[in-house]
Amino acid sequence: MTKEKRASWSGSLAFVLAASASAVGLGNLWRFPYLAAKYGGGVFIAVYLILSLTLGFTLLVTEIALGRYSRQSQLTAFRQLGHPRWNFLGVLSTVVPLFILPYYNVIGGWVVKYFAAYAKMVSGGGGMGDPRAFYDSFISAPWDPFVCMGLFTVATCAVILVGVKNGIEKANLVMMPVLLAMACGIAVYVAALPGSAAGIRFYLVPDFSSCDNIGKVVLGAMGQMFYSLSLAMGIMITYGSYMRRCDSVSKASVRIVAADTFVAVLSGFMIIPVVVMFSGSEGTRAAIDAGPGLMFVTLPKVFASLGPAGLWIGFLFFVLVLFAALTSAISMTEACVASVCDFFRARRSVSVAAVCVWSLALGAVSAFGYGRWADFRPCGLPALEFFDTSMNVLTPVVAALICVFVGWVLRPKRILAECRRDGGNVGFALFYAVMVKFVAPVLVLAILASEVCRIFGIGGWAI
């Protein structure tokens, strides 16, 4: 039990890069394009932009400032701020990443598998055959999903073990620019393909007929925004706790929202036009309704139809997805490791080992959930989907409670004072107070209600 010196980012850019790396993940690359296509293209994009610039910005500022103010990760931050009765909120926001991380790593493992398959194909090895059969036989294989998840988990933990400055910062410094360059390159390539215009229109032009209920669009966009900005999981509190007092919280928040939204919109340009070209508008709707199949089944089919260039596009695409998933998993692992360190005053290496073992053990339940342990179906769902659904309920609860805590107990002025400390502009003070006290809790509870409706199959509001 040693007290190690608290780490800090080397500068504002490192912080923005790390937080953006956490934000940009599977949510941007797979979930955003799929939701946009489902909820009326331009309508969804417009609603998402408005929400992320208002609500997303507010919540991001709140979490980052809470972290920097307390200099603690989420598990101990609330006690440190002099409100021990709100400690349960720290516990809740530690439980969330502890349960999300293992199954996020399982999907990370799927990406490793696809990356390896494409690497083999571009280097002249055998093809993957029929993408549907490949996907089905992989996720139900006896060991493959677990082994791939293990590789992904160990790679993530290795970066964390090296530390905040040398590990996380350096990994992001390499992966994020490569990711951005590849995303822009693929989007430009797709736009130049003959016949892509119809797909771009499908993606961007508002289609009011497929979003008869604007409430659903707003809720869908809001849920997506939470997930995409990595909110309510203690990550931004932990990352904020490593932030220097001279770097601006508000400027960093604007940049993180901008980077995350940019990549989300860009991935629509990569994915939707090729799917529309391949399957037509109706086929695209069907592919979109198939959920995870879009990335792991439909896209490989599309890449195969593009000939040899398609193989390379597929390879680059899965490198991009792998980097995005790794940097997000790194942030989640860090939030768990930091909590263990702060709570038990444990060494970083011990905490990393503990979190790694936990992820492998709990991840096994999801990894084997379509194969050898397929009979284990909590609430009638495969384990991975059970965890995903439970977390979709827990996240808005945590977010709403954080807003209530900051709005009514800690008071917005404390957060604004933290933002003023770095010399940042707080021209948004009134807006912030109204958002955090009234608008955010109400909107967040609306997502919760809709999630509950979806689970119990009640009403037309479930998204």
Positions in the binding site for ligand PHE (CB under 6 A) = 22-23, 25-28, 100, 227-228, 230, 233, 235, 328, 331-332
* Rounded distance between C-alpha atoms, residue 436 and residue 161, angstroms: 36
Cβ-based nearer residue to ligand PHE, 21 or 443? 21
As a whole number of angstroms, the distance between CA 156 and CA 105 comes to 9
Closest CB to ligand PHE among 219 and 321? 321
Nearest approach, Cβ of residue 100 and ligand PHE (Å): 6
What distance in Å separates the CA atoms of residue 40 and residue 201, rounded to the nearest whole number? 11
Q: Which residues, other chains included, contact 417 with Cβ-Cβ below 8 Å and sequence gap of 6+?
A: none
Q: Report, in Å, the least distance between residue 458 CB and ligand PHE.
A: 27
Nearer to ligand PHE, 24 or 403 (CB): 24
316 in Cβ contact with 118 (< 8 Å): no
CB of 122 to ligand PHE, least distance (A): 26
Instruction: Give the residue with the Cβ less far from ligand PHE, 270 or 277.
Output: 270
Q: How far apart are CA 78 and CA 292, in angstroms?
A: 37
Query: Which CB, 241 or 328, lies closer to ligand PHE?
Result: 328
Output the smallest distance, CB 239 to ligand PHE, in A. Answer: 11
Measured from the CB of residue 244, what is the shortest distance to ligand PHE in angstroms? 23
- Complex with ligand PHE: residue 100 or 128, whichever CB lies closer: 100
Q: Which whole-number Å values give the CA distances from 319 to 298, 350, 354, 369, in the listed order?
A: 17, 31, 29, 26
CB-wise, 100 or 106, nearer to ligand PHE?
A: 100
| Cα 347 to Cα 149: distance, rounded to the nearest angstrom | 25
With helix as H, strand as E and coil as C, how does 314-360 read? HHHHHHHHHHHHHHHHHHHHHHHHHHHHHHHCCCHHHHHHHHHHHHH
Q: How far is the CB of 462 from ligand PHE (least distance, A)?
A: 21
Phi/psi zone of residue 307: left (φ > 0), alpha (ψ -120 to 50 degrees), beta?
A: left
Closest C-alpha to 426, from 417, 434, 435: 417
Closer residue to ligand PHE, CB minimum distance, 227 or 432:
227
Give me the amino acid identity at 118. Answer: Y
CA distance 153 to 43: 37
CB of 445 to ligand PHE, least distance (A): 20
What is the residue type of 110?
W
Q: How far is the CB of 430 from ligand PHE (least distance, A)?
A: 29
Q: How far apart are CA 143 and CA 354, in angstroms?
A: 23
Of 230 and 390, CB closest to ligand PHE? 230
* CA–CA separation, 230 and 75 (whole Å): 17
